[in-house]
Amino acid sequence: MDGQLKALVITAASIGFFHTLFGPDHYLPFVMMSWSRKWSWFKTTWITFLCGVGHIVGSVVLGLVGVSLGIAVNRLQIVEGVRGNLAAWLLIAFGLVYLVWGLRRAYRNQPHEHKHAHVEAIHTHEHDHHRDHVHLHDNKATASVAPWTLFIIFVFGPCEPLIPLLMYPAAQNSMFGLVVVTSVFAITTVGTMLVTVLLARAGVSFLPLAGLQRFTHVIAGATICLCGLAIQFLGL
């Protein structure tokens, strides 16, 4: 491995790490969905991994096409920009829909009192007509939709620095260099996503949020929507 390729490998690892860490869309949606839907550690890891791979594959395929056909890098960046805008708007839409669904669910699960007359006394207790019913039906309806929605969003989401900063310079070195640099970037990106998501999810578990249990889906939807807005309008 020559000096130029070593420098590209180090650059790929550094960009993969910081690009992921400074991009809240790489981990916040998974943290909030895992928390609100009470995903297991295994499910959280598996969904994050699949979305991370999908996130990278889209840009890798586009970059390979560009390298093979000799397409100018600025043209590919235009395509990546369109994909980025689409992914941001999809994330915003998903967050809004999930927020509204969470509000509806929280309203239907609002506890209320029932009075019961007995021979010697009258007592009251809080009761919720919809909690069990909503849990059985709404959770089944969204359990499979939410992960696949995230996956589709991440497939559209581009890895902006991958093609111009890594793939094209590595391709000028050799095909071997292209494979190595792309692999290092992919492994670093997905690895950083997994570590960040799992650590943040563990941290959320220790927060005193029991009183907000009814509104977990609302909070998750709002956070995901704000994340998409930050990407679209703040360039995060």
- The 10s digit of each residue's pLDDT in 22-72 is 988 899 999 999 998 999 999 999 999 999 999 999 889 888 888 888 888
Exposed/middle/buried for residue 173 (C-beta within 10 Å: 0-12, 13-18, 19+)? middle
Exposed/middle/buried for residue 207 (C-beta within 10 Å: 0-12, 13-18, 19+)? exposed
- What total number of domains does the chain contain? 1
Check: CB of residue 83 under 8 Å from CB of residue 162.
Answer: no
Residue of higher predicted confidence among 60 and 128? 60
Phi/psi at 235 (nearest 5 deg)?
A: 70, 25
The answer to whether residue 211 is domain-embedded is no
The answer to whether residue 117 is domain-embedded is no
Q: How confident is the model at residue 137 (pLDDT cuts 50, 70, 90)?
A: very low
Q: How far is Cα of residue 140 from the mean position of the Cα atoms in its chain?
A: 20
Q: Which of 54, 51, 231, 79 has its CA nearest to residue 163?
A: 79
Check: CB of residue 202 under 8 Å from CB of residue 27.
Answer: no
Check: CB of residue 35 under 8 Å from CB of residue 220.
Answer: yes
pTM of the full predicted structure?
0.82
Q: CA-to-CA distance for 131 and 109, rounded, in angstroms?
A: 5
The answer to whether residue 18 is domain-embedded is no
Task: Give me the pLDDT at residue 31, please.
Answer: 94
Residues 6+ apart with CB under 8 A from 182: 12, 60, 63, 162, 166, 167, 170
Task: Give me the pLDDT at residue 133, please.
Answer: 45
The answer to whether residue 82 is domain-embedded is yes
The answer to whether residue 169 is domain-embedded is yes
Q: Which of 134-148, 153-167, 174-188, 209-223 shows the lowest per-residue confidence on average (mean pLDDT)?
A: 134-148
- Helix ranges (H only) for 24-118 are 28-37, 41-69, 73-108
Residue numbers of the domain that contains 29: 3-10+24-110+127-204+216-234
Asked if the model's pLDDT at residue 206 lies above 90, the reply is: no
The answer to whether residue 28 is domain-embedded is yes
The answer to whether residue 70 is domain-embedded is yes
- Structure confidence by residue, pLDDT tens digits, 77-112: 888 889 889 999 999 999 999 999 999 887 776 654
The answer to whether residue 135 is domain-embedded is yes
